[in-house]
Amino acid sequence: MTTMLISTAQLAQHLTDPDWIIFDCRHDLMDAGKGERVYREGHIPGAYLANLDIDLSGEKTGRNGRHPLPSPAAFTAFFARHGVTNTSTIVAYDDVGGQFASRLWWLARWIGLPSVLLLDGGIPKWIAEARTLSREVPVPMHIHNRIHDGIPQSAPLQGHADPLMVVSADEVKSRLGDTTAMLLIDARAAERYRGEVEPIDPVAGHIPGAYNRFYKENLNPDLTLRSVDDLHASFSQTLGATPARRVVHQCGSGVTACANIFAMEYAGLKGSQLYAGSWSEWVSDPARPVATGSER
């Protein structure tokens, strides 16, 4: 097992381990009810539902994007309600190659939890291998009641957000055109980046100077992640001489961008940042510049 990915076979060995907490992150940006619907139809046994709009996002103001970050306290409380402690191993999965599971991975890392894994291939691989599904909604054991085999109960979860992992719209705007300060990577599909279509946000196009790298470029056809060497070579082509710590990731609303952050970290290119508000926040202010076409 790597420190970031877990296989279906490895996860199957830990389904009854109380120190392993699994989250089902399935979602559809065009169908907000899909996640809960498919979860109730069948999920990996013991998995809890993590709703993108409710659990993995904060309050929207109309100016902070479609999926603003939750407050560190709110996200820590969500984890704590599901039995997560500072020593838990957290596993996240979805059905689209990590588009939504990587958001939970990023948030967990953001509040300081190091042991968080993505299920390689997600639930499609689990189902393809004819592994067991459950319709039972697990009841979380409250953290203060978790005593196993005489082991003292775990301490309450402590989460502290790392401000260096996030950049604001103002910071992005101030760095536009300065390639020594920022390399901006847009994780959306190419046609959205170019401004040819925009199915979700009110303005089409991209942030001027951004490179386009669709998050699905990180995946094999079966939705497993490409190899470390493959990803390293691919990202290195985009980065050139730019160090990873100067890279800022964005997408439509700060969700898919986390998949590119995950892939870079997995490839050993550590320290890149997230513009959490992303395109949906950027275009909420008409004074911010917009570009169309293929810049990169």
Q: Which residues are catalytic?
A: 251
Q: Which class for 106: exposed (0-12), middle (13-18), buried (19 or more C-beta within 10 A)?
A: buried
Beta bridge partners of 248: 184, 273
215's tokens: 């998050």
Q: Tokens 């997408």 belong to which residue?
A: 251
Question: In 10 A of CB 131, how many CB atoms?
Answer: 16
Beta bridge partners of 5: 118
For the stretch 111-115, contacts whose Cβ atoms lie closer than 8 Å and that sit 24 or more positions apart, written own/partner, are 111/72, 111/75, 111/76, 111/79, 111/159, 111/160, 111/161, 111/162, 112/86, 112/158, 112/159, 112/160, 112/161, 112/162, 113/79, 113/84, 113/86, 113/88, 113/159, 115/87, 115/88, 115/89, 115/90
